[in-house]
Structure 1
Amino acid sequence: MSAAKALLFVESNTSGTGRLFARTARTMGFAPVLVTTRPEKYAYLAEADAPEVVVVPRVDEDELHALVAARWGGAAGVAGITSSSEYFIATAAALAARFGLPGPDAASVRAARDKSWQRQVLAAGGVPSPAFRAVSSAPEAVAAAREIGFPVVLKPVDGSGSVGVRACADVAEAGSHAALLFASGGEGARVLVESLVAGDEFSVEVFSGQVVGITRKHLGAPPFFVEAGHDYPADVPGNAAAALVDSVTRGTALLGLGWGPLHWELRMDHEGRAVPMEVNPRLAGGFIPELVRHAQGIDLIRETLRLVVGQEPELAPSRRRHASIRFLFAPGAGRLAEFERVPEALGLADVVEVSAYRRPGDEIDVHGDFRDRIGHAVACADEAGTAARAAERARDTVRVRIDAPVSAVEADGAAPLAGAREGAA
């Protein structure tokens, strides 16, 4: 019996679907291989069913091409090449194309990583868009914000996971956040300044041009845009659903992103327009693919890998239910002491999963983005409201206990702070 062909992942996302992609590849009969510069980033590599790991000095298309040719004989030993990380999808696509393997158009994916380019193409094509400017310095950001009018949103043009995304209410906030973004972005950094679109937020999951479904998104407290939960499929009026589908269908064609999974994020404004916030040329994060699987029986991870290895995807729903996720957050920064009452949360009606991403002893920081999520609860039911309430009950049942952080005074030898803080996640 011949050995299983390798299915290569060029880097991975650090939580969520990265582990699931590798597991699914193995169940499909392939040998998953993670090619990475820093394997220590991926906690799931410590698990028994972790993929093979190949460490490289850097993710460079030419060097990876030589590696694949020498180690696996190119397409003779490799079934497909992809990535679950938005930052590396274009590289994986270009590498796959050099071996004649399936994948998205690398140039279109690379272009779509630039959110200012997305804005220009969508606005020129008549898709509803906020006012926006791409800038190269903090003073330019302040001037653009004044011109657009407050409140505005500032974000890196090539970010992901809401990292660096913040609403700014005035000149002082815009100037301060712009300075932070440019300081952390390095030479050549660019920032997008755009008008804040008020309204309910949704995502639309698209697969090779076909709309799979609509997700309602729940955000944390402003000025950040941390996603605190999702409901799938969204219970949304017909006119809003039609507007969402119209915007993403036209936008997908304009951006040339007709191969594989896309994750659109949009807001419904006060005029009933579906305004794209951004599109990501990858599967949704935030465990949305798992919600789709629970609710409709469509395994988007498996179907993505089927496409990657040249098979036809199967997107017909096998059931019609509703699934919701609510994320767990720490009550503040410090050292994680314990997740408490997890068994009680998991025993609640309609709850199908309660998971923690961090372990006792881990240091917890507050960033204002996806990194603040330290666990989740998922529920599935026949009705949308039932699933949402069950996920919320499970979230509220779990207690996250955080040891108080060491203060500068304590570090100098003063009396220690009180023991611990705890709160509903």
Structure 2
Amino acid sequence: MSGRLLLLIESNTTGTGRLFARRAAQHGVEPVLLCADPGRYPYAAEDGLRTVAVDTADEAALWTAVSELVGEAPVAGVLTSSEYYVPTAAAVAARLGLPGPEAEAVRACRDKAEQRRVLAGAGVGVPGFAVVDEVAGAVVAAAEFGLPVVVKPVQGSGSLGVRLCADAAEVAEHARTLLAATVNERGVAAPRRILVEEYLSGPEFSVEVFGTQAVVTVAKHVGPLPVFVEVGHDVPASLPAESERALRETAVRAVEALGLGWGAAHVELRLESTGAKVIEVNPRLAGGMIPELVRRACGIDLVLAQVLSALGEIPELERGVYARASIRFLTAERDGILTHAGALDETVARARAVPNVVDAVVYRVPGEPVGPAEDFRGRIGHTIAVADHPAPAAEAADRGAALLAEAVSYTHLTATEALA
């Protein structure tokens, strides 16, 4: 190690959080995870990652912890892999005079209502939307747009709280649920405002932007409505040149309109007959293992690029590999239970043995109850496949996921247990 530190303020619980720390260590910089509860991140203990327990929602306490680390060794950068803490990490980086996004820009971007206003004002295509703070207002807005509509919180991640509502009763019920929430799943105060949006039914994509460069376009697979759980991705998306250009140009315009342009941004869009429409801009790296797909398909390591940018270095974003990568997530059809350890290991091994499959994993422990996914937390596992062409990559990922599905039993729960 060089004696320099990279401060990581909180993390996502899977995927890139662990990778951020590993890339920093591989680059000769010591990663230090500052978090309220180290137990939330099992990978930290597994990897021997140094942690500092601090209330990251308390600005004074966090700065005290940062100052102590500054007194110990040079702090070379500040990052986070959690969307909830991007503004916090940006503010700390700015206070230390280190590279990072504009704190106010990412703070405004995280408020989806403000983000919608800015994008619409800049002429970037977005769905029709209304910001409401009461149930009656949600019902009125839904009637104006025409049902069905999407009702969702103004802050959130991973499709949490996002639902397609088919009629006024569903709009009222979901709006009431969202408006009653005082904190989100991280315990952070939730704004008492929600969004009611026009439902766009075109195919969904994301564009991974770095700085103001569109790096790659990703095809998304979304599970059964009324929720919007992402159940798969294909990298790069197979698209006509005109559609590809429309998605990339719209994504970059959105990033620039929001005052972003440092590091990674994950821009989600739908391709409608009227053009590309932005669903949302996330001022962070993509989740859902997309950075790993990009690395395998394109030879571009977005995690390393983000780490290097935080350290003040210029990352390499030129494509060096020309393959196709697909991921499929395992979700439960209904309430069930994971099989016992021996059978689970055998199932995973069979999935990994599928030609072109390069990774297969189940996130849960044997015997754990599972149920239909309402958001990203309902995913049970995944398979990743890589091939020279789109079809074999997608087919292998599908086949691997189908084999993983054999690990879920729907016969071991009684009706009483399923309702418990």
- TM class, shorter-length: over 0.9
Shift of 1:39: 1.7
Whole-Å separation in 2 of the counterparts to 1:6 and 1:333: 45
- For the Cα contact (< 8 Å) 1:331–1:402, is it kept in 2? no
Among candidates 125, 130, 134, match of residue 128 of structure 1: 125
Which residue in 1 is equivalent to 2:238?
Answer: 235
Q: Name which of structure 1's ranges 355-364 and 379-388 shifts more when overlaid on structure 2.
A: 355-364
Q: Name which of structure 1's ranges 316-325 and 38-47 shifts more when overlaid on structure 2.
A: 38-47
Whole-Å separation in 2 of the counterparts to 1:397 and 1:199: 30
Q: Which amino acid aligns with 2:362?
A: A
Shift of 1:71: 3.0
- Structure 2: runs of 5+ lacking an equivalent: 184-189
Q: How does 1:5-404 map to 2 (within 5 A)?
A: 5-47=4-46, 49-73=47-71, 77-185=74-182, 188-271=191-274, 273-338=275-340, 339=344, 340-398=346-404, 399-402=406-409, 404=412
- For the Cα contact (< 8 Å) 1:325–1:378, is it kept in 2? yes
- For the Cα contact (< 8 Å) 1:295–1:319, is it kept in 2? yes
Q: Name which of structure 1's ranges 77-86 and 186-195 shifts more when overlaid on structure 2.
A: 186-195
TM-aligned CA distance change 1:207 to 1:58, over 3 Å = closer
Which residue in 2 is equivalent to 1:418?
Answer: none
Shift of 1:69: 1.4
CA offset digits 1:308-346 (Å, max 9, x no partner): 011111101111111000001134335433435211111
TM-aligned CA distance change 1:411 to 1:329, over 3 Å = closer
Shift of 1:205: 0.2
Q: Which amino acid aligns with 1:207?
A: F
- For the Cα contact (< 8 Å) 2:331–2:373, is it kept in 1? no
Whole-Å separation in 2 of the counterparts to 1:68 and 1:402: 48
TM-aligned CA distance change 1:364 to 1:296, over 3 Å = same
Whole-Å separation in 2 of the counterparts to 1:393 and 1:181: 37
TM-aligned CA distance change 1:331 to 1:4, over 3 Å = farther
CA offset digits 1:189-236 (Å, max 9, x no partner): 210000001110000000000010100000000011000000000001
- For the Cα contact (< 8 Å) 2:55–2:61, is it kept in 1? no
Give percent identity, aligned residues only: 48
Whole-Å separation in 2 of the counterparts to 1:4 and 1:46: 21
Q: Name which of structure 1's ranges 395-404 and 132-141 shifts more when overlaid on structure 2.
A: 395-404
- For the Cα contact (< 8 Å) 1:198–1:270, is it kept in 2? no
Whole-Å separation in 2 of the counterparts to 1:266 and 1:3: 41
Whole-Å separation in 2 of the counterparts to 1:363 and 1:71: 42
Q: Which amino acid aligns with 1:266?
A: L
Shift of 1:153: 0.2
Shift of 1:270: 2.5
SS at match of 2:181: helix
Task: Kindly tell me the number of residue pairs found equivalent between the two proteins.
Answer: 408
TM-aligned CA distance change 1:409 to 1:208, over 3 Å = closer
- Structure 1: runs of 5+ lacking an equivalent: 413-425
SS at match of 2:338: strand
TM-aligned CA distance change 1:308 to 1:58, over 3 Å = closer
SS at match of 1:341: helix
TM-score in terms of structure 2 length: 0.93
Whole-Å separation in 1 of the counterparts to 2:216 and 2:182: 34
SS at match of 2:329: strand
- For the Cα contact (< 8 Å) 1:152–1:196, is it kept in 2? yes
TM-score in terms of structure 1 length: 0.91
Shift of 1:100: 0.8
Shift of 1:407: 6.1
